[in-house]
């Protein structure tokens, strides 16, 4: 069975704080893909990153960074120096079709 757990339902931070969104996954596949998507208040999900199971290198894109650890089956997402525009619901996903419940991030000015 495949499963994605995002244990943090809601997180609230003040602007400029760093914040980490957790994602834990379960799969028996040796080849798989992990994703993060952002759903801003407007509603449309937007792709952020994809990682395949053979690439454990951390990824950094501006203020965003991702930490993939197969040993703990985790694919965590960190926003450095958060901004109000980062307020959204963030989804972690496994392969094409298995999404977590999402984490609602609120960044207050």
Partner 1 sequence: DVKVTQSSRYLVKRTGEKVFLECVQDMDHENMFWYRQDPGLGLRLIYFSYDVKMKEKGDIPEGYSVSREKKERFSLILESASTNQTSMYLCASSSGWGDEQFFGPGTRLTVL
Chain residues binding partner 1 by CB under 8 A are: 6, 9, 33, 35, 37, 42-47, 50, 52, 91, 93, 95-102
Cβ of residue 107: shortest distance to partner 1, in angstroms? 20
Report the nearest approach of partner 1 to the CB of residue 27 (Å).
Answer: 13
Choose between 50 and 63: whose C-beta lies nearer to partner 1.
Answer: 50
CB of 6 or CB of 76, closer to partner 1: 6
Q: Show the tokens assigned to 41.
A: 């208040």
Closer residue to partner 1 (CB): 21 or 98: 98
Helix (H, G, I), strand (E, B) or coil at 72: helix
Q: How far is the CB of 15 from partner 1 (least distance, A)?
A: 26
SS3 sequence of 73-108: CEEEEEECCCCHHHCEEEEEEECCCEECCCEEEEEE
Considering only CA atoms, which of 108, 102, 96, 88 is closest in space to residue 2? 96
């Amino acid at each position: 069975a495949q499963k994605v757990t995002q244990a943090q339902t809601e997180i609230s931070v003040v602007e400029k704080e760093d914040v980490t969104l957790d994602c834990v996954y379960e799969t028996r596949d040796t080849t798989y893909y992990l994703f993060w998507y952002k759903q801003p208040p407007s509603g449309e999900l937007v792709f952020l990153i994809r990682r395949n199971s053979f690439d454990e290198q951390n990824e950094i894109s501006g203020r965003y960074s991702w930490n993939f650890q197969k040993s703990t089956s985790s694919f965590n997402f960190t926003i450095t120096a958060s901004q109000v525009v980062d307020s959204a619901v963030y989804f972690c996903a496994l392969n094409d079709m298995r999404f977590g419940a999402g984490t609602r991030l609120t960044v207050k000015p």
